[in-house]
Each structure stands twice: as structure tokens, then as C-alpha cells.
Amino acid sequence: MPQFDNSYARLPDQFYSRVEPDPVPSPEIILFNTELAQMLGVSDWAERPDILTGNTLPEGAEPIAQVYAAHQFGGWVPRLGDGRAIMLGEVVTDQGRFDIQLKGAGRTPYSRNGDGRNWLGPVLREYIVSEFMAAMDVPTTRALAATATGAKVQREQAYPGGVITRVAASHIRVGTFQYFAARSDTEAVKQLVDHVRMRHFAGAVGTIGVYEAIVAAQAKLIAKWMGLGFVHGVMNTDNMAVSGETIDYGPCAFIDGYAANAVYSSIDRNGRYAFDQQSNIAGWNLAQLGSSLVLLLAEELGSQETAVEVLTQTLNAFPALFQAEWQAVFCAKLGISTPQDGDVELAQELLNLMDKERADFTNVFAGLGTQVARDEFVDRDAFDQWHAKWQTRLKDEANSAQLMAQSNPKLIPRTHRLEQAIQAAVAGDFAPAKRLARVLSTPTHLDETDTDLTRPPLAHEVVPNTFCGT
């Protein structure tokens, strides 16, 4: 039995709306995360598609939709909220407290013109990608289940509907703070800060301590994304969780042939959320969060001027924090456990070579030290020169092979494979999606039978753009 204890639903009414999931005709489980279910105490839900789609409420659930605001592509939206997601509540486990949310369970007061529904494409994509991220030790929301609803969902055409059961440390976003700050509701901002401290940053002292912790968590997170060639695609402030987890897998993608400025999302026309912009944008989003905390911190510190100064100082630490995390991530990818001067340049030099030739990001790193990596380059001389330098550096390292094996996945959720799996699912064949989910749950391990999944897309398989798929 899951132990529900819904602390967010005990916050004042203005934080959310109470809602009811809209029943679906014939729920059917496609993917179920047995391990995660066990941790949450919901193993019996493996046979309960009715719970996973919202047709039946589990005992202790108090379904709500959270309200938030956002900067979307830099433009201010004063009121958004869970338009196609319904939170069942929080489950308390020996590993902490987790939100369980049904994405695609029907309309809420925040749905605007949307139908509150989801279809199998985004459902399967989020399941597979978020579980891959978890397997690579990247903070992320998790996927408990992907369920087909039996209803059609109208997008560019009619697609089979689906629900993803999402699990998160919390769903509180930068935009949640912005919503209350924009209303000058300092009391609500204070309640939110206290709530976030309780859920994520128990040791943090004062509002500034919570802000510092959020800044540090984002530095760590974005560095991890960079290490996997991950492009989130829509880093609006409503899609940045203050817990430091990756949230909202919409038009995201992993880079095949490396380009530092890669953009995939069809809605990101100006490359605001390009691969190499992600730390800058995280900083921009954190600045918005900082602004949302000014009035509260001013109350704590006695002056608005001091509050702004302290927040700015904390924000200004972000680039260096990110740089240190980036260094650690890329050193590990190169088999270097204790970074030294010159390591950043060594990593950057390889990335520059890769960028020049659009070398496959995943296969180069996974193949370093073997012919596989070398084969990715046409300019072998340039690569060999780099390789010799790298080998010299590795003489100081003891466990480089093991470190590299852990840090460089052999398999990633390549966009064309996701697309193929989604197309098959739409046609009623769930086997490719199941295969991807299974294989990508151990991405540093490659069975001989799965080598086809390491291949970058052929010309006709390239998916040039990814879509929100809402």
C-alpha cells in the first residue's frame, strides 16, 4: 500500500485547484516500471491500468492541478498551471517523498484551449528518455508507467491517447515562485520557500540558503545534460524544477553528429535553447527565480538593497559552479578522476574536432581508446594528435577504463529510434518501444544483439525537428 501524505495539497487554496481525472474508455498498460513501483509501494498497480489513467483513485490520493506562471521563450505568461497533468498526491517511502502525477488525465482549470490529453508519442518518449536519464544518474522525474487510454487524441491527425504516470521529488518550478511573486504575495512565496526547503534542501538556512541550493543543483544538472549531448529544447521557467531534476521531456533530443549549437525543437526558431546555450539559459531562469525572492529576502534582511546584493552574488556564482561541474563531467568521460589544469582545454579540443566533422557524440566517447572513435574522424592526423596528448594525460590516472565505462553510455535514446518506436506503437506494435525501454535502462552495457541501436541515423532516418507533441 502506498503511504500518501499530501503536503502540497495542505498549502492554501491559491496554490492549486482540486480536480478529478476524466475517465478513459479502455486503459491498457504498455510499460510499467517494476523497480520504481516497488520503491513507491505500488507494485500491485502493475495490474491496475485503471489507477494509472485516473479511472480509479487510489486510497489517500487528493488530485490537484498546480498553478504557476512562466517566461516562455522570454515572454511573460502570468498564469499557466497543470493543463494536462493531474497530481494524485505524494507518497512517502524510505527513500523520501515523491509526487505521483498523471500526465494526460483530462482537463483542468489551467487547460486553456487544450484538451488535457496526451498521446502515445510523447508518453513513450518521456518514459524511455527519463528512465535512460535515471540510469545515467542524471537527476530526473521518473516514469512509473505508460498507459494507452483507448481514446483518440486529435493533433495534426488522430492519434491513440495515452497517460504517463510521472514520479518526481516535486513538481515545483521556477514559474511557481514567479506566479506568487508577480502578485506581490510575499506570504505565499515564503510558504513556498519553506515547502521547498522541507522537501529538497533540509539544511538550507534562510531564503538565501534555499536559493543557493537551487543554483547549485541546476549547475550540476546542466553539466550532466552536456555530458550526454542532451538538448532539453524548451527550458522555459515552467519547465525548470527547483529540485534540480530534469522535467518536461517535450521536444528534447540527444545529439547524434556533434554540433555545439544544435537545436532540434521545431518551436525554438532562434536557437534560444540550443545545446551550448543551456547553461546561459539556466542562469537566466535562475535570475528570474532570484527576482521572485527579492521581497521576501528584503523582509528577512531588513533592506531591499541588501537582498538584491546577496541574491546577485549567489547568482553570479552560477557560471563558476557550472564550469566546475562541466569539468568533472567531461574529465570523467575522458577517464580522468582528479581534474588538473589543462583538462578543460583537452576536452574542449576534442569537442572542437568533433564539431568540425559532426562526429557522433556518443560513439566517439564510448569508443575512445579504440578504433571506433578514430573511425568517426576523417582528419585522422588531428584526432591522432589529440589522442596522443590524452594518452599522456592518462598516465597519471589509475582507474580510467572503469570511469569511462560508467560515464559514457554505449546506447542513447536516438531520436530516429524513438520515432520508429512511436510509429510502430501508433500502428499497434509496442515491441520496439518495449525494447528501447529495456535496453536503455542499462545504457553503459551493450549486448551483441543490440549493436544496431548504436548506429546514428541513416540519411532517410534523420528526424530534423522534434515537437512538443502536446
Under the rule (CB under 6 A), what is the footprint of ligand AMP?
80-84, 110-111, 114-117, 234, 238-239, 248, 250, 468, 470
Classify residue 150 as exposed, middle or buried by CB count within 10 Å of its CB (0-12, 13-18, 19+). Answer: middle
- Name the 3-class secondary structure at 241: strand
Q: What number of CA atoms fall less than 13 Å from residue 355's CA on the CB side?
A: 13
Which of ligand AMP, Mg ion, none has residue 388 at its interface (CB below 5 to 8 Å by kind)? none
Which of Mg ion, ligand AMP, none has residue 468 at its interface (CB below 5 to 8 Å by kind)? ligand AMP
Catalytically annotated residue among 238, 248, 355, 360: 238
CB atoms within 10 A of CB 459: 5
- Name the 3-class secondary structure at 88: strand
- CB closer to ligand AMP, 320 vs 468: 468
Closest CB 236 distance from ligand AMP, rounded Å: 6
Closest CB 375 distance from ligand AMP, rounded Å: 39
Closest CB 107 distance from ligand AMP, rounded Å: 7
Which of ligand AMP, Mg ion, none has residue 80 at its interface (CB below 5 to 8 Å by kind)? ligand AMP
- CB closer to Mg ion, 264 vs 383: 264
**CA-wise closest residue to 161 among 124, 213, 131, 214:** 124
**CA-wise closest residue to 220 among 362, 324, 136:** 324
* 343 belongs to the catalytic site: no
**73 neighbors 166 (Cβ within 8 angstroms):** no
CA 291 from centroid of its chain's CA atoms: 24
Q: What is the DSSP letter of 70?
A: E
Closest CB 403 distance from ligand AMP, rounded Å: 35
Give Cα separations from 90 to 8, 227, 297, 333, 368 (angstroms): 8, 31, 29, 36, 43
Q: Does 239 bind Mg ion (CB under 5 A)?
A: yes
Site track for Mg ion across 185-214, x = CB under 5 A? ------------------------------
C-alpha 11/C-alpha 222 separation (Å) is: 30
Closest CB 66 distance from ligand AMP, rounded Å: 9
Dihedral of CA 420/421/425/430: which sign?
Answer: positive
User: Which of 131, 248, 325, 360 contacts Mg ion by CB under 5 A?
Assistant: 248
Which of Mg ion, ligand AMP, none has residue 82 at its interface (CB below 5 to 8 Å by kind)? ligand AMP
Which of ligand AMP, Mg ion, none has residue 173 at its interface (CB below 5 to 8 Å by kind)? none
Active site residues: 238
Residues that bind Mg ion (CB under 5 A): 239, 248
